[in-house]
Structure 1
Amino acid sequence: MKRRTYLTALGAAPWALWLGTSAHTQVLDLPDAINKAGRQRMLSQRMAKAWLALVQGIEPPNAQRVLDKSMALFDRQLIELKAFAPSPEIKLTYSKLELEWSDYKTALIGAQPDKSAAAHLLMQDSQVLALANQGTGQYEATLGKPVGKLVNLAGRQRMLSQRMAKFYLAARLDVGAASSIAEIMKARSEFVGANAVLYDSPLATTRIRQELQQAQGQWVFFDNALQKLKPGSGTDRSMTEVFQASENLLTTMDSVTALYSAIKV
């Protein structure tokens, strides 16, 4: 991807880039901040997933779109979250995240995606993820209400959907295959456990439970695709299935997160 392509995407695309729904142009309140901060975690993994798909020629037009829109949304939300920061500690976290994001963004768009750069890119996305997660936790602590924990947890499910797909594509590329498989297994366990917590919560509405039931159906398909993993080999079809299934699961979990963030208690 050329740098010009990304800059064009930033200038031409509306800020309502999030999976067809409208994104706020500013943080509305603390639950919204937790939602957006958590979404930054997810975007760190989604961008790496799209980049790895481009390396392997999987869904090139779609993967490029995912990468472009994810980068633009990350940029926008980073500005919003830093401006909204209610304490010096949170503002400092987002200042640090700005620096890590600058390096990660350069790796994503500075050269054509290539296997030789994959290990370095995965190291950078983990650093961005760590700081994004720190910011989410700080916003949750500032809210100090049970609903904040649920927004954080639901938002983390979005990240896990992308993290599993990312490591699947990394293993297919035979980049850190053993550690990638271990990370997938860890994320699978965490995802299943968290969905149960979200479903059983006293704050879960009928709509939330309906969305989680839909997510369960998507999870079965996604999990079946993940279990076909054979490091260093595989068909384009199986990688396409994982890519698309992770996008579908992400859409549903984003809806769940938004529904929890809208609860006022």
Structure 2
Amino acid sequence: MKRRLFIASTALVAVGARAQVADLNDAINKAGRQRMLSQRASKAYLAILQKVETRNAQQVLDKSIALFEKQLGELKAFAPSPTIRSTYDALDGAWNDFKRELTGVAASREEAAKVVKLDAAVLALANQGTTQYETASGKPVGRLVNIAGRQRMLSQRMAKFYLAGAMQIDAAGSAAEIAKSRAEFLAALEVLRSAPEATTQIRQELVLADAQWMFFNRGLQRLEGAGASPALMSDVFVTSENLLGIMDRVTGLYSDLKT
């Protein structure tokens, strides 16, 4: 499965082009991207630990940390209410705990289990902030930006749990999380495709997402616990990055709609 349509470390080359939050759609986009980065950082950590796509994985980890911190500052500064600001203050604390585990301790199976646990707190608060920004928007397109943005997170979450399962970190639980995320991802694709706001360009990108999903899902289905080979794990890592790049473009296209 050599479908390296993008280089893993540059899948999000356009991310961060806007120095500050432009409007509420952009806030929802960036807030939702924080969810993804929590899962992407864990995925990269697990890949490095298992010597999977080591060079790319290190670049992904470093860039994910840097982008999370950049956007965290922007979202806190843009917060239109004390409630939203409070969420991002809490996220700041959870992120610092998570980052400390990602960067401050020698990687091991025991530390990997802690990383997977800590990313859950970051994800929950990032999702809370995204929902609050969507509510502040009050527009149908805000919901679509949120849904499209969540697809990025799900792509990384499935790959993370694949790599966790390969290490036998709660293998049964990891498989259940992959199944849950798969069902949500496929249902959301239909929502995005059928939305009245979907432009021709958005639908074209979703066709690409369907094709990349086929390769990614095939890799996910080949997990056999500790028997997962480095080649299979590499395929899942790379295709998750490819799918992420496509869904990030879709999110941006929805974010740019002024309806």
Tell me if both proteins adopt one fold, taking TM over 0.5 as the criterion: yes
Tell me: higher relative CO, structure 1 or 2? Use CA pairs within 8 A at least 6 residues apart: 2
3-state SS in 2 of match to 1:136: helix
The correspondence for 1:244, drawn from 215, 220, 238, is 238
Gaps of 5+ in 2: 1-9
User: How does 1:63-212 map onto structure 2 within 5 Å?
Assistant: 63-212=57-206
User: How does 1:33-72 map onto structure 2 within 5 Å?
Assistant: 33-72=27-66
The correspondence for 1:258, drawn from 252, 255, 258, is 252
Shift in Å at residue 18 of structure 1? 7.3
Deviations along 1:202-247, one digit per CA (max 9) or x if unpaired, are 0000000000000000000000000001112211000000000000
Shift in Å at residue 119 of structure 1? 1.4
Tell me what 1:222 maps to. Answer: 216
In 2, Cα distance between equivalents of 1:79 and 1:99: 13
Q: Which letter maps to 1:40?
A: Q
Deviates more, 1:228-237 or 1:91-100: 228-237
Shift in Å at residue 112 of structure 1? 2.4
8 A contact 2:148–2:192 mirrored in 1: yes
3-state SS in 1 of match to 2:227: coil
Q: Which letter maps to 2:12?
A: L
The correspondence for 1:19, drawn from 8, 12, 21, is 12
Q: State the TM-score, normalizing by the size of structure 2.
A: 0.95
CA gap of 1:236–1:256, structure 2 versus 1, over 3 A, is: same
Equivalenced residue count is 249
CA gap of 1:102–1:18, structure 2 versus 1, over 3 A, is: farther
8 A contact 1:108–1:121 mirrored in 2: yes
Tell me what 2:7 maps to. Answer: none
3-state SS in 1 of match to 2:132: helix
Gaps of 5+ in 1: 1-16
CA gap of 1:22–1:121, structure 2 versus 1, over 3 A, is: closer
Q: What is the percentage of aligned positions where both structures have the same residue?
A: 57
Q: Which letter maps to 1:28?
A: A
Q: Which letter maps to 1:79?
A: G
3-state SS in 1 of match to 2:168: coil
8 A contact 1:18–1:73 mirrored in 2: no
In 1, Cα distance between equivalents of 2:38 and 2:241: 14
Tell me what 1:13 maps to. Answer: none
Shift in Å at residue 22 of structure 1? 5.1
Q: Which letter maps to 2:230?
A: D
Q: State the TM-score, normalizing by the size of structure 1.
A: 0.93
3-state SS in 2 of match to 1:232: helix
Tell me what 1:6 maps to. Answer: none
In 2, Cα distance between equivalents of 1:214 and 1:18: 14
8 A contact 1:154–1:256 mirrored in 2: yes
In 2, Cα distance between equivalents of 1:235 and 1:18: 24
